[in-house]
Structure 1
Amino acid sequence: MERRDVRGHYEELAAEYDEHWVYGPDYVPWMSGQIAQALQLDSMDRIADVGSGTGLFAREVARQLRPRHPIVCVDPSEAMLRQLGTPPPAVLAPVVASAEDIAEGRTHLPYEQLDAMWLKESVHHVADPAHTLRGLAGRLAPGGRLLVVMLPTTIQYPLFEAALTRFEELQPDPAVIEGHVRAAGLEAGLSYVEHELRFDRDKYFGMVRARYMSLLSTFSDSEIEKGIEEMRVAHPEPVLVFADRFAFVLGRRRGELA
């Protein structure tokens, strides 16, 4: 197994990241709407997307919400944040930092406190989730909300067997993350949402070859090609249809909304 270089993985993928994540015309609006609904976002909220990447979901949340304050897009990859645009839209404020940087107060944010923040499919990159989530919770205003969006411990993706097995070895348990959020002093709950995905088979194989999931960066080129051949045999159908299921871990700081 090759050593995972998460930051390097996203630096290389930055230019084509949105192409891989725009699964269909309704996926980004759907997920962004789910995030906004779970967090009960208001246009006056001070909001951060921690691990925002190219701002794909923050941009859509801003379009739906029309916030009065720019949404802070936090990501350790400058290359990813450059995809916000130059200069970035007035509704998005890029900050080059990791979740740990924000949790530890090593990086200055535009707002002293946040009313809402989300981490979408980034908590598994955090070395010490309990410590980091505690620090992030400390950045919330009274009544502030923190949402962790993550995949469950098993997925139904049409990947090759070794990738599915490695995913299960590496993926944190949402119930454990919920426990960390509660231990951070927040009222916490766990729920699930699901969305059907449809891909042209060759397009999906191309996404796997491009390592659209950071998990796939743990495989060598030859292992990826061998895996794609396995997928060709297992999935002869021209269109791949499968469920994308997400765990939503929501925490709320006690107190009146800011």
Structure 2
Amino acid sequence: MERRDVHGHYEELAAEYDEHWIYGQHYVPWMSGQIAESLRLAPTDRIADIGSGTGLFAREVAKQLQPRQPVLCVDPSEAMLRQLGTPPPAGLTPIVASAEDIAAGRKPLPYQQLDAMWLKESVHHVADPAHTLQGLADRLAPGGRLLVVMLPASIQYPLFKAALARFEELQPDPALIEGHLRAAGLKASLSYVEHELRIDRDKYLGMVRARYMSLLSTFSDSEIEKGIEEMRIAHPEPVLAFPDRFAFVLGQRSGESA
């Protein structure tokens, strides 16, 4: 297994990241709506997207919600945040920082406390989830909510077998994350949402070659090409249809929001 350089992976992928993640015209609005609904977002909330990348979902949430204060797009990759544009869209404020930086208070935020924050498919990059989630929970205002959106312990993606096996090896269990939120003093719950993806096979193979998932950065070029050939044989159909299932781990701080 090659060593994962997550920061380098996203720096290289930044310019074409959105192309790989917009599976279809309905995906981003659907996921953004699920996030907003789960967090019960209100226009008056002080909100942060931790690990926002290019701001795909923060941008859509801001569009749907019309928040009175900008959504904070927090990510350690400047290259990813630059994809927001210069200047960034109204309603979004980019902040170059990691989840650990925010949790430890190493990076000041425009808001003293947050009413809502989410981490979408980024918690597996955190070296010490329990400690980091505790620090993030401490940034919440009374009644504040923290949502971790993550893939389940196993997935049904049409990837090659070695990638699926490695995913199960590396992916944290959502129930463990729920336990971390509870240990951080939050009322925690775990639920699942699912969305069917339909995507042109050749496009998906191109996404795999570009290592659209950080998991794929653990494979060498030759392993990726071998895996793609395996996928071609296993999936001769021109359009791939498969479920995209997500765990929504929600924590809420006690007290009433202001």
**TM-score in terms of structure 2 length:** 1.00
Q: Give how far 1:127 is off.
A: 0.2
Rounded Cα–Cα distance in structure 2 between residues aligned with 1:158 and 1:50 = 28
Structure 1 counterpart SS, 2:180: helix
Letter in 2 for 1:156: Q
The CA RMSD over aligned residues, in Å, is 0.4
Partner of 1:249: 249
Q: Give how far 1:90 is off.
A: 2.3
Letter in 2 for 1:50: I
Rounded Cα–Cα distance in structure 2 between residues aligned with 1:184 and 1:167 = 27
Partner of 1:187: 187
Q: What does the per-residue CA deviation read over 1:143-173, in whole Å, with 9 as the maximum and x for residues that have no partner?
A: 0000000000000000000000000000000
Matched ranges for 1:124-203 at <5 A: 124-203=124-203
User: Which 4+ stretches in 1 moved above 3 angstroms?
Assistant: none
Rounded Cα–Cα distance in structure 1 between residues aligned with 2:208 and 2:231 = 10
Partner of 1:13: 13
Between stretches 6-15 and 84-93, larger displacement belongs to: 84-93
Q: What does the per-residue CA deviation read over 1:213-254, in whole Å, with 9 as the maximum and x for residues that have no partner?
A: 000000000000000000001001111000000000000000
Partner of 1:216: 216
Letter in 2 for 1:193: V
Rounded Cα–Cα distance in structure 1 between residues aligned with 2:26 and 2:57 = 12
Q: Does 1:63 align with 2:63?
A: yes
Aligned residues: 258
Partner of 2:97: 97
Rounded Cα–Cα distance in structure 1 between residues aligned with 2:153 and 2:190 = 14
Q: Give how far 1:60 is off.
A: 0.1
**TM-score in terms of structure 1 length:** 1.00
Q: Give how far 1:89 is off.
A: 1.4
Q: Give how far 1:2 is off.
A: 1.0
Q: 5+ residue gaps in structure 1?
A: none
Rounded Cα–Cα distance in structure 1 between residues aligned with 2:89 and 2:187 = 34
Rounded Cα–Cα distance in structure 2 between residues aligned with 1:120 and 1:23 = 16
Q: 5+ residue gaps in structure 2?
A: none
Rounded Cα–Cα distance in structure 2 between residues aligned with 1:203 and 1:93 = 32
Partner of 2:228: 228
* Percent identity over paired residues: 84
Letter in 2 for 1:11: E
Partner of 2:38: 38
Rounded Cα–Cα distance in structure 1 between residues aligned with 2:245 and 2:106 = 34
Rounded Cα–Cα distance in structure 2 between residues aligned with 1:232 and 1:163 = 15
Letter in 2 for 1:46: R
Rounded Cα–Cα distance in structure 1 between residues aligned with 2:22 and 2:54 = 12
